[in-house]
């Protein structure tokens, strides 16, 4: 008797949990009133499209606190920043010679104009006058921010390239010859070869923030905790792993419309989505199609597909006897239906395409998928049987007594496990003895770059320009991993110096085809991230590398 009470109470508790769970669960199409939101919500914002410039419509309202989302902790010293979250913050604190918009256009920042000289081997930047470093701190007293001049650019660039442990962009590092301050407002950068990537997001000069020498020297070891720049925002407070609080730089040549900018660090994507919905933050970026669809259907939010899709592909171990055989690679390429898998897992965030250069990027080849990576099981089987492979009693392909066995290695980044599970199932259905191996990030990196590759490794990366060279150029990654294609590599190297975009585009495409017809990797397709904003945020134009909140092209503001 006494113990049966337990069961009833247990049931009661279970049902109350179910109630709690069912309550907030919404069908994706129901519009939800976001909880603590002041004033009338809702705007007629575009839903799922390429980021379009907001019409300079109603009156701009100044003030308010904009709360952005950061998925990880950040650091502030430009030569060491390679991750998005850190650069989002750096974009606000520092001035750069120029900024690049989401669609790849270089717009002025510290440099008002620039021109090429000397056969495109030199670039001369003309600096804006009256830009000052942040004041009101331990280095520059209130009202005494020093003006940014050419020698600051020289100092910053040299430090960027030479500091120990720094990670400057490779194309800049490879081509750098010297930099000089011609006068207080003119900087001349001399390169050994023309650099086609100088103004490309994430390459060239796009990570070089301008720093004041006296601040770096003043703080020494703790400089990383007290960044001082000349950008539109100053650092007010940094609580490691929690938030970064920025306030407008009163002396910036464009005064920010908002009163305060906060980056909230929330590592868990699901919780960040809840915070967005509850109105606690104004922005998240997501790679989950579920979250994306949820907000796309909600008028109080503005969901956009990111502008820089990155590619998903399977890299191969060139030292493995299995993958060394051309027919195996070709067969696997046709036995995998990358499009179907990516569509199922990534939904609307999947944009198609094959190769290393994605849609909209120089070198993009719209026919590559059809020609070399079409999903064609019969063709795959024929490729193998033509090379004397046959299925054994277990239904596994076998040749000379050796069955076709591969391992697919991933790390636990969502959605890798889902994509890989599906791919492994497809391989098994085709008759390959495939096994999924999930490791943690450090191990994966070590295996990938250290030549300990399993037969197959699922990888993603490279959005935008420069990927082809980084992977397949003569100093590219796969070169060091053991894949050689001299002809293509030379072609790619040359494109680094081409300034005529059409010629460069065609050459890249040709080189890419030469590479992919060899099946050195199995390309699956491109997918973008999703950006979701609270509809109150106005004049935001997307992020490819720079988080452009206050620039010559836009100045975000909040509708009340």
Handedness of CA 21, 22, 24, 26 (dihedral sign): positive
Provide, rounded to whole angstroms, the least separation between the CB of residue 171 and other proteins.
8
Cross-strand bridge partners of residue 264: 69, 243
For residues 106-165, which are near other proteins according to CB under 8 A?
Answer: 164-165
Cα–Cα distance for residue pair 350/110, rounded to 1 Å: 36
Site membership for other proteins, residue 176 (CB under 8 A): no
| Residues touching other proteins, count (CB under 8 A) | 101
Helix, coil or strand: residue 124: strand
Contact 376, 382 (CB under 8 A): no
Site membership for other proteins, residue 266 (CB under 8 A): yes
Site membership for other proteins, residue 36 (CB under 8 A): yes
Site membership for other proteins, residue 499 (CB under 8 A): no
Characterize 524-537 residue by residue with b for buried, 16 or more Cβ atoms within 10 angstroms of its Cβ, and e for exposed.
bbbbbbbbbbbbbb
Indicate the residue among 24 and 401 with the shorter CB distance to other proteins. Answer: 24
The only residue of 46, 255, 324, 445 in contact with other proteins, by rule CB under 8 A: 445
Cross-strand bridge partners of residue 44: none
Contact 83, 71 (CB under 8 A): no
Provide, rounded to whole angstroms, the least separation between the CB of residue 434 and other proteins.
11
For residues 231-260, which are near other proteins according to CB under 8 A?
Answer: 237, 239-243, 245
Provide, rounded to whole angstroms, the least separation between the CB of residue 553 and other proteins.
27
Site membership for other proteins, residue 105 (CB under 8 A): no
Site membership for other proteins, residue 268 (CB under 8 A): yes
For residues 276-295, which are near other proteins according to CB under 8 A?
Answer: 277-278, 280, 288, 290-291, 294
**Residue count (the chain):** 560
Quickly list DSSP for 464-533. Answer: STTHHHHHHSTTSHHHHHT---HHHHHHHHHHTT---HHHHHHHHHHHHHHHHTT-SEEEEEEE--EEEE
Only one of the segments 7-15, 128-136, 182-190, 249-257 lies at the binding site for other proteins (rule: CB under 8 A); that segment is 7-15
Site membership for other proteins, residue 21 (CB under 8 A): yes
For residues 292-351, which are near other proteins according to CB under 8 A?
Answer: 294, 340-341, 343-345
Cα–Cα distance for residue pair 31/300, rounded to 1 Å: 8
Provide, rounded to whole angstroms, the least separation between the CB of residue 139 and other proteins.
18
Taking CB atoms within 8 Å and a gap of at least 24, the contacts of 180-186 are 180/154, 181/149, 181/150, 181/151, 181/153, 181/154, 182/124, 182/150, 183/150, 184/127, 184/149, 184/150, 184/151, 185/126, 185/127, 185/128, 185/129, 185/149, 185/150, 186/124, 186/125, 186/126, 186/127, 186/150
For residues 40-69, which are near other proteins according to CB under 8 A?
Answer: none
The only residue of 65, 151, 192, 270 in contact with other proteins, by rule CB under 8 A: 270
Indicate the residue among 462 and 557 with the shorter CB distance to other proteins. Answer: 462
Helix, coil or strand: residue 106: strand
Site membership for other proteins, residue 452 (CB under 8 A): yes
The only residue of 437, 474, 497, 559 in contact with other proteins, by rule CB under 8 A: 437
Provide, rounded to whole angstroms, the least separation between the CB of residue 170 and other proteins.
4
Site membership for other proteins, residue 169 (CB under 8 A): yes
For residues 457-496, which are near other proteins according to CB under 8 A?
Answer: 461, 470-471, 476-477, 480
Indicate the residue among 58 and 222 with the shorter CB distance to other proteins. Answer: 222
For residues 74-93, which are near other proteins according to CB under 8 A?
Answer: 75, 77, 80, 82-83
Tell me the chain's radius of gyration from C-alpha atoms. Answer: 26
Site membership for other proteins, residue 414 (CB under 8 A): yes
């Amino acid at each position: 008797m006494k113990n049966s009470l337990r069961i009833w109470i247990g049931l009661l508790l279970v049902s109350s949990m179910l109630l709690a769970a069912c309550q907030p669960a919404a069908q994706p199409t129901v519009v939800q009133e976001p909880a603590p939101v002041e004033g009338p919500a809702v705007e007629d914002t575009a839903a799922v499209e390429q980021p379009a410039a907001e019409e300079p419509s109603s009156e701009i309202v100044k003030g308010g606190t904009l709360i952005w989302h950061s998925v990880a902790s950040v650091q502030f010293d430009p030569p060491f920043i390679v991750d998005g979250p850190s650069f989002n913050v750096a974009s606000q604190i520092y001035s750069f010679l120029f900024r690049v918009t989401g669609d790849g256009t270089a717009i002025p920042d510290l440099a008002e104009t620039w021109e090429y000289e000397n056969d495109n081997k030199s670039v001369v930047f003309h600096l804006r006058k009256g830009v000052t470093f942040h004041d009101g701190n331990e280095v520059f007293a209130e009202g005494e921010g020093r003006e940014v001049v050419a020698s600051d650019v020289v100092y910053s660039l040299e430090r960027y390239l030479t500091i120990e442990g720094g990670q400057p962009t490779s194309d800049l590092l490879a081509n750098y010859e010297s930099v000089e301050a011609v006068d207080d407002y003119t900087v001349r950068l001399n390169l050994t070869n023309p650099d086609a990537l100088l103004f490309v997001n994430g390459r060239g000069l796009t990570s070089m923030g301008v720093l004041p020498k006296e601040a770096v020297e003043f703080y020494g070891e703790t400089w990383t905790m007290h960044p001082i720049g000349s950008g539109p925002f100053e650092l007010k407070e940094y609580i490691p792993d929690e938030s970064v609080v920025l306030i407008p730089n009163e002396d910036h040549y464009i005064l920010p419309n908002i009163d305060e900018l906060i980056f909230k660090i929330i590592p868990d994507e699901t919780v960040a989505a809840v915070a967005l919905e509850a109105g606690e933050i104004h922005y998240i970026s997501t790679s989950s199609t579920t979250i994306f669809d949820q907000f796309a259907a909600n008028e109080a939010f503005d969901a956009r597909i990111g502008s820089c899709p990155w590619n998903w592909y399977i890299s191969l171990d060139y030292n493995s006897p299995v993958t060394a055989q051309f027919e195996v690679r070709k067969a696997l390429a046709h036995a995998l239906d990358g499009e179907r898998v990516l569509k199922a897992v990534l939904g609307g965030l999947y944009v198609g395409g094959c190769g290393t250069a994605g849609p909209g990027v120089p070198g993009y080849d719209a026919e590559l998928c059809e020609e070399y990576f079409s999903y064609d099981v019969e063709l795959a089987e024929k490729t193998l049987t033509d090379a004397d492979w046959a299925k054994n009693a277990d239904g596994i392909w076998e040749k000379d007594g050796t069955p076709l066995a591969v391992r697919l290695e991933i790390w636990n980044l969502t959605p890798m496990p889902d994509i890989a599970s599906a791919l492994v199932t497809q391989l098994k259905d085709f008759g390959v003895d495939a096994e999924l191996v999930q490791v943690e990030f450090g191990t994966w990196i070590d295996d990938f770059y250290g030549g300990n590759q399993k037969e197959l490794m699922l990888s993603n990366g490279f959005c935008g320009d420069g990927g082809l060279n980084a992977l397949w150029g003569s100093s590219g990654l796969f070169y060091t991993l053991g894949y050689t294609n001299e002809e293509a590599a030379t072609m790619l190297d040359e494109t680094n110096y081409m300034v005529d975009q059409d010629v460069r585009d065609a050459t890249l495409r040709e080189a890419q085809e030469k590479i992919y017809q060899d099946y050195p990797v199995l390309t699956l397709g491109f997918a973008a991230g999703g950006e979701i904003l609270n509809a109150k945020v106005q004049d935001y134009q997307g992020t490819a590398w720079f988080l452009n909140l206050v620039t010559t092209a836009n100045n975000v503001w909040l509708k009340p």
